């Protein structure tokens, strides 16, 4: 096996390993989001597409990584062509998805705030089952602010969660804004990761086609 072919082989395997890591990361994020969304039963179907997309991307990346790794190890042209073709499709989808996340992030934040408000208005007691942990973690109260509660404030609206939470001691900031800010921070990170993934995909496609062009001199290690 020539040095050039060997280098391309191990480069492609390394990129496929990176694909595998990204597949695990996207799948884990999708599963985590699915669990979190299920804690808010009245959030609506609009909020369920994001976890599904993350999980789908994770599974898809895992399959692509398998094809690429098998193609690199065996030198099988068919597997390499499948890997390169699917990666090109993914490249376009990744670029579009990354740009969309960065561009429409603010609109997504407004929509999420609207969904949270609707879910809260369907019943304070029921809403507190999912809002309570958010209040405790982000140190906030209600969706807009503590005035959202028409009855006694829950203990999670106050520091140290006392038996009786007084309005004067409650957190002044609403959870809606804090959740949206967290989502905006995450969307920027996701957008950046998508752009990075697109760069990796370009390198992977070039490596796969170069490996195919040298297949005549390819020897399995």
Same domain, 65 and 121: no
Same domain, 79 and 124: no
Same domain, 9 and 98: yes
Does residue 215 have a pLDDT over 70?
Answer: no
Same domain, 68 and 128: no
Q: Is residue 140 part of a domain?
A: yes
- Kindly report the average pLDDT of the chain as a whole number: 79
Count Cβ neighbours within 10 Å for each residue of 64-96 and write b for 16 or more, e otherwise: bbbbbbebbeebbeebbebbbebbeebbeebbe
pLDDT for 157 equals: 92
For residue 108 the two structure tokens come to: 């997504």
Same domain, 86 and 129: no
Same domain, 14 and 83: yes
**Between the ranges 94-98, 111-115, 152-156, 189-193, where is the mean pLDDT highest?**
152-156
- Torsion 135-180-43-124 (CA) sign: positive
How many angstroms separate the Cα of 173 from the Cα of each of 37, 60, 139, 142, 154? 22, 40, 8, 8, 15
- Number of structural domains (the chain) is 2
Same domain, 86 and 126: no
Does residue 213 have a pLDDT over 60?
Answer: yes
36 phi/psi in degrees, rounded to 5: -65, -40
Q: Tell me which residue has tokens 């999912």.
A: 130
**Average pLDDT for 83-106:** 78
Whether 160 contacts 186, CB under 8 Å? no
From 105, 33, 74, select the one nearest 82 (Cα to Cα). 74
Whether 220 contacts 134, CB under 8 Å? no
| DSSP conformational letter for 153 | P
For residue 50 the two structure tokens come to: 């994001």
Same domain, 100 and 113: no
Task: Considering only the C-alpha atoms of the chain, give the largest distance between any 2 of them, rounded to a whole number of Å.
Answer: 78
For residue 116 the two structure tokens come to: 């949270």
Q: pLDDT grade, residue 46 (50/70/90)?
A: low
Q: Is residue 123 part of a domain?
A: yes
* pLDDT above 90 coverage of the chain, percent: 3
- Residue span of the structural domain in which 128 resides: 109-176
Same domain, 87 and 20: yes
Cα 31 from chain centroid?
10
Does residue 1 have a pLDDT over 70?
Answer: no
For residue 69 the two structure tokens come to: 């790794």
Q: Is residue 81 part of a domain?
A: yes
Same domain, 38 and 70: yes
User: Cβ-count burial of 216 within 10 angstroms (0-12 exposed, 13-18 middle, 19+ buried)?
Assistant: exposed
From 15, 4, 17, select the one nearest 219 (Cα to Cα). 4
Same domain, 9 and 70: yes
């Amino acid at each position: 096996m020539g040095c050039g072919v060997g280098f391309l082989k191990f480069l492609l395997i390394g990129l496929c390993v990176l694909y595998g890591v990204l597949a695990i990361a996207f799948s884990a994020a999708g599963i985590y989001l699915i669990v979190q969304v299920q804690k808010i039963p009245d959030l609506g179907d609009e909020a369920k597409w994001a976890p599904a997309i993350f999980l789908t991307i994770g599974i898809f990346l895992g399959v692509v990584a398998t094809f690429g790794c098998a193609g690199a190890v065996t030198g099988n042209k068919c597997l390499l062509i499948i890997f390169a073709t699917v990666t090109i499709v993914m490249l376009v989808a990744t670029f579009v998805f990354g740009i969309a996340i960065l561009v429409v992030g603010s609109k997504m934040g407004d929509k999420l705030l609207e969904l949270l408000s609707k879910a809260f208005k369907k019943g304070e007691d029921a809403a507190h089952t999912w809002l309570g942990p958010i209040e405790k973690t982000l140190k906030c109260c209600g969706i807009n602010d503590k005035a959202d509660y028409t009855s006694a404030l829950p203990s999670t609206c106050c520091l140290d969660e006392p038996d009786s939470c007084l309005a004067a001691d409650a957190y002044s900031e609403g959870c809606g804004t804090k959740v949206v800010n967290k989502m905006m921070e995450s969307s920027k990170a996701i957008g950046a990761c998508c752009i990075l993934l697109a760069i990796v995909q370009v390198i992977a496609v070039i490596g796969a086609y170069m490996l195919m062009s040298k297949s005549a001199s390819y020897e399995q290690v």
